[in-house]
Structure 1
Amino acid sequence: MVLKIRPENPSDYLAITEVNDLAFGQPAEGKLVESLRKNPKFIPELSLVAELDGRIAGHILFFPVVIKSGNGEEKETISLAPVAVLPEFQKQGIGGELIKEGLKACQQLGYDSVIVLGHPEYYPKFGFKPANKWGIRDPFGAPVEAFMALELKKGALEGTGGIVEYPDEFNDV
């Protein structure tokens, strides 16, 4: 089987929704992706699909967010959410390939850090560390160990501290 990671295109939209719905066992993430596509900050090059022998088997989305400090300063970063792989293809490295390719794409577009709310045993494999190391907090009240950050450029998050502000679409999930 041949795995190809590439940016999504409009003909992939239905398959991407299906991948997210099946991977998460409910429609929230599929609806989130559809909503974020309509947001003016959506970056098509950061919505990637994993194509396995011509079939969409996985999807990942990175979306711009800001870290807002107590004194009102803002730092732009990017969030990884969601990443999904069809159940029959999970635990085969497809999600990891999507993450690696997505992080490269973020770097190429000039982003110096990434935020993720996810499994604390999975994301550290890619270099993610608890975001509270830099004084960064999430607005959802998630467990500290599940809210993580990655510096794509050394020192990018030093002195950043604050709460990550997600677009309104995330509140509907």
Structure 2
Amino acid sequence: MEIKLRQENINDFESVFQLIEKAFEKEEYSDHKEQFLVERLRESDAFIPELSIVAELEGKMVGHILFTKLKIVNDSHAFESLALAPVSVLPEFQGKGIGSKLILYGHEVAKSLDYKSIILLGHKDYYPRFGYEPCEKYNIKMPFDVPAENCMVIALVENSLEGVSGEVIYPKEFFE
């Protein structure tokens, strides 16, 4: 099974919308509107085209991941970071390592663009395998009430989270 990963382009938008919709339609912890979030983020200042990535298998789009800009802010500093949301794989292809490939490839692209960290809200048993740690370890707080075990961060560059703390400021498109 050879998965091809590449940057999303304008011709992919409709397929990505449908893929995300299918990927989340039976997900228990979802508002089932992730596809609309991606559309809003594409039009925002937080969007980074290189970090909207699709996975293809034999010419069929089977996965998508999006990383967008966010900030971690405290009284004296604002730190640039990324949000990972959402990662989507068609249901019939879940559990085959496609999500993992998208995440790891996304990390490499983000590093090449000089991003130092990524924050996410996700399954506590899935993301630690990629190096994600609880945000609370760094005194990084989410702007909404969610279980601490689901709020995670990864340093893409060694020691890049030293001295980083504060509240995560998501782009407004996450709340529309």
TM range, normalised to the smaller chain? over 0.9
The aligned counterpart of 1:61 is 66
AA aligned opposite 1:22 = K
**Shift in Å, 1:142:** 1.1
Q: Deviations over 1:5-30 (max 9, x none)?
A: 10001111011111111111164100
> Helix, strand or coil for the counterpart of 2:124?
coil
Q: Which residue is 1:163 aligned to?
A: 167
Q: Secondary structure at the match of 2:107?
A: helix
Pick aligned residue for 2:49 from 19, 40, 44: 44
- Report the 3-state secondary structure (helix = DSSP H, G, I; strand = E; otherwise coil) of the residue aligned with 2:149: helix
Match of 2:83 in 1: 79
Match of 1:106 in 2: 110
Tell me how far 1:104 sits from its aligned partner. 0.3
**Aligned positions, number:** 171
SS in 1 for 2:152: strand
| Counterpart residue type for residue 127 of structure 1 | G
Q: Could you say which residue in structure 2 is the equivalent of 1:148?
A: 152
Q: Deviations over 1:73-114 (max 9, x none)?
A: 200001110000000100000000000000000000000111
- RMSD (Å), alpha carbons: 1.0
Q: What TM-score comes out, normalization by structure 2 length?
A: 0.94
* C-alpha distance in structure 1 between counterparts of 2:149 and 2:47, whole Å: 27
- Identity of counterpart residues, as a percentage? 46
Deviations 1:21-75 (A, max 9, x none): 1111164100000100001231110000001111110000000100011x14200
Aligned to 2:98: 94
- Which runs of no fewer than 5 residues in structure 2 stay unpaired? 26-30
Letter in structure 2 aligned against 1:31: F
Q: Distance in 2 between matches of 1:90 and 1:18?
A: 16
Asked whether the 8 Å contact 2:55–2:62 carries over to 1, the reply is yes
Match of 2:124 in 1: 120
- Which range moved further: 38-47 or 122-131? 38-47
Aligned amino acid, residue 12 of structure 1: D
The Cα of 1:161 is off from its aligned counterpart by: 1.1
The 2-side partners of 1:114 and 1:40 are apart by 17
Whether contact under 8 Å (2:5, 2:55) holds in the other structure is yes
Which residue number corresponds to residue 17 of structure 1?
A: 17
Q: Which residue number corresponds to residue 134 of structure 2?
A: 130
Q: 1: distance between equivalents of 2:169 and 2:19?
A: 26
